[in-house]
Each structure stands twice: as C-alpha cells, then as structure tokens.
Copies of this chain bind each other. A is one copy, B any other.
C-alpha cells in the first residue's frame, strides 16, 4: 500500500524485461505510465497490462493483436455500441484460447507417448551395451 507506483527499473527487475521494451510498449500504446516531471511511473494498471502482454507473447500473439485485447480487461467508460463489440471480441478470443488448449493437450499427449517409447528404447539400448 505504501507505493502503488514503480520506477522503470523496478518494473524491469520485477518482470525481467529491459527499459527499452517498456518504452517500446508505451510508444505502441500498450502501456501508459504517468509522468513525474520527465520520469515514467508505472501504475497497478500498467503492471496488470504488462503481465497480460507477456502472457500473450508466450502464446505467440503479435503485439498489435494484444493491444486490441487489452481493452477487454480494463473496462472503462465505454459507449454501449463499443462495449458490445468488445464483448464479442472477447468471445472470439476466448474460443481461440480454448482451441489452443486443445492443441496443447494433444501436443502434450503425443510428446509424453514419445517419451515413454523413448525410455523403453533407451533401456534396451543399455541392455545391448551391457551384453557386449
């Protein structure tokens, strides 16, 4: 509660990104830290957004797409029409995520199978080695 605001370096340490990255994201309008004179101060909102940005990246979403989606999370004071559009966009995105999960599950299953097979193979290889 003492400080709701973080300097750029604190952000870097906390999230494991460079200052350049944070400035880049600001320029791309993904973040909007407030200014104390010249310096940037990152709010709780910025941190929440950055977390989502990094998560999105890990799943292969381009920054531009992520930018669109970020507005789903801080529902501000939008107009009804705009808001409806936001909702449908969220639904679309949610379906995408679920599809990804299905594929990810498949990938996990396949790799796990492969691994089991591989471990058996390894065992018999060691067998042969010992028989030499």
Q: Chain A interface (Cβ within 8 Å of chain B)? A: 55, 57-61, 72-73, 75, 80, 83-84, 86-87, 90-91, 93-94, 97-98, 100-101, 103-105, 107-108, 111-112, 114-115, 117-119, 121-122, 125-126, 129
Instruction: State the Cβ distance, A49 to closest chain B Cβ, in Å.
Output: 13
Asked if residues B55 and A86 are in contact (CB atoms below 8 Å), the reply is: no
> 7 tightest A-B contacts by CB?
A60-B60, A97-B108, A90-B115, A80-B125, A94-B111, A101-B104, A87-B118
Asked if residues A114 and B80 are in contact (CB atoms below 8 Å), the reply is: no
Number of copies: 2
Q: Is the interface of A mostly helix, strand, loop or mixed?
A: helix
Asked if residues B101 and A108 are in contact (CB atoms below 8 Å), the reply is: yes
* Chain B residues near A86 (CB-CB < 8 A): 118
